Amino acid sequence: MTLKKATEELDRVIGRHRWVKEEDIAKLPYMEAIVKETMRLHPLAPLITPRLARYDCNVGGYDIPKGTIVLVNVWAIGRDPSIWDNPNEFFPERFKDKTIDVKGHNFELLPFGAGRRACLGNNLGLKVVQSTLANMVHGFSWRLPGNMKEEDLNMDEISLLTTSKKNLLLLWLRLDFHHIFILRLDRLKFTFHKVCSNTLLSH
Ligand code: HEM
């Protein structure tokens, strides 16, 4: 359903004859919401950078003595049922008509951290993710193979300092091209491999 709505928005705003440009993103609120929802459920850095308390303080009713090293678990905040309805559900519509942003102003959603040590590249990072995802949805047909159901899609992550998807994705184009591509997504690589036949898709 999410994919269908995103594709409808892209077809309406962009049309079928060109790729999405960076300046189009402001006209694609549903795509923006999808990125927020993805960052809520799958933050790149689940524990952000450790903080050191420079003086005794109280946060949310908890006393934090000076010298304490504090780990902020943004992964858990993003799935906290006291903040989010149905927190484990991927539901971009939850951001509709809300001003909540991802740049450290709203503590319930902190994919780029917050405060003085917040991500310095948040504008660049966000724009790259938004336009890459928008073009991946716009330019490719995403289908699950065989009888596989959405709930069977393996969303396992590999989590060290940062988190990435564990398993490869396969995809093919829906615009006016004839190449088959493999999208390789692993810890260190994010590359498209062009191949000439679709035989690989059955593997
Ligand atoms: C979607 C892409 C990105 C995400 C999700 C992301 C996320 C983060 C997070 C969570 C932190 C820790 C913030 C904190 O502890 O409060 C961080 C720190 C940082 N990020 Fe990013 N980042 C992204 C892209 C970038 C890019 C493109 C650059 C540079 C061009 C960048 C440069 C930095 C730097 C320099 C820090 C350390 C800041 C400090 O410790 O003072 N990031 N990032």
- Centre of ligand 1 to C-alpha 44, Å, is 9
119 annotated binding-site participant: yes
Q: Please tell me the predicted confidence (pLDDT) of residue 184.
A: 53
Which atom from ligand 1 is nearest to the alpha carbon of 48? 15
CA distance 123 to 169: 27
CA-wise closest residue to 113 among 49, 52, 57 = 49
Give Cβ neighbours of residue 81 (< 8 Å, ≥ 6 apart). 87
Boundaries of CATH 1.10.630.10 in the chain?
A: 1-140
Which atom from ligand 1 is nearest to the alpha carbon of 45? 10
CA distance 90 to 38: 8
HEC assignment per residue over the chain: CHHHHHHHHHHHHCCCCCCCCHHHHHHCHHHHHHHHHHHHHCCCCCCCCCEECCCCEEECCEEECCCCEECCCHHHHHCCCCCCCCCCCCCHHHHCCCCCCCCCCCCCCCCCCCHHHCCCCHHHHHHHHHHHHHHHHHHEECCCCCCCCHHHCCCCEEECCCEEECCCEEEEECCCCCCEEEEEECCCCEEEEEECCCHHHHC
Q: Please tell me the predicted confidence (pLDDT) of residue 174.
A: 53
- For the chain, give the percent of residues with pLDDT over 70: 82
- Centre of ligand 1 to C-alpha 16, Å, is 34
Pocket lining for ligand 1, CB < 6 angstroms: 44-45, 48-49, 111-114, 117-121, 124-125, 129
* Mean pLDDT for the stretch of residues 119-134: 96
CA distance 6 to 21: 16
- Centre of ligand 1 to C-alpha 129, Å, is 13
Please check whether the domain covering 1-140 is classified as CATH 1.10.630.10: yes
User: Which is more confident, 55 or 151?
Assistant: 55
Task: Give the model confidence (pLDDT) of 2-17 as tens digits.
Answer: 899 999 999 999 999 9
Q: Is the pTM of this model over 0.95?
A: no
Residue 117 pLDDT exceeds 50: yes
- Centre of ligand 1 to C-alpha 150, Å, is 31
